[in-house]
Amino acid sequence: QVQLVESGGGLVQPGGSLRLSCAASAIIFSINTMDWYRQAPGKERELVARITRGGRTDYADSVKGRFTISGDLAKTTVYLQMDGLKPEDTAVYYCHANRFSGFSQADFWGQGTQVTVSS
C-alpha cells in the first residue's frame, strides 16, 4: 500500500507564508499529475494547483499570483509555496497523485494537513 504524506501546515497570520510538502511512502511510476486540493468546513473539496508530467502548472483563480506548485514527479514529491495568505485560505490541504499506464490508472491521496490563517 503506497501512501502520500503531507507536512508543513500550521497557523499563520494574514499575509504570512507556508510551504507544504508531499512525499510518497514508495516511488509511484508513470505519474501523470500531482495536485493540491483543499476543503473547508461545509464546503466541497476544490482543486488548488496542479503540475503535470511535462511540467505544466495550473492554479485556481483564487490563488493565482500567490501560490506556486513545484516538484519532481519521478520522485513522487510535490510542494506548494503559499504567500500572501488570506483567512479564506483556511482549510485542510490534501496531496493527490494520478497514475496512468496502458489501460489502467490509479489515484493516491494523502491524509491532509491543516492550514489556518487568522489573527
Residues 6+ apart with CB under 8 A from 94: 6, 36, 37, 38, 39, 45, 109, 110, 111, 112
Q: How many distinct helices (H) and strands (E) make up the chain?
A: 0, 11
DSSP string covering 28-44 = -SSEEEEEEEEE-TTS-
| Average per-residue pLDDT for the chain | 95
Above 80 in pLDDT, residue 16?
Answer: yes
Rounded CA-CA distance 50/60 in Å is 9
**Rounded distance, CA 47 to CA 60, Å?**
7
- Give tens-digit pLDDT for 49-108: 999 999 999 999 999 999 999 999 999 999 999 999 999 999 999 999 999 888 888 999
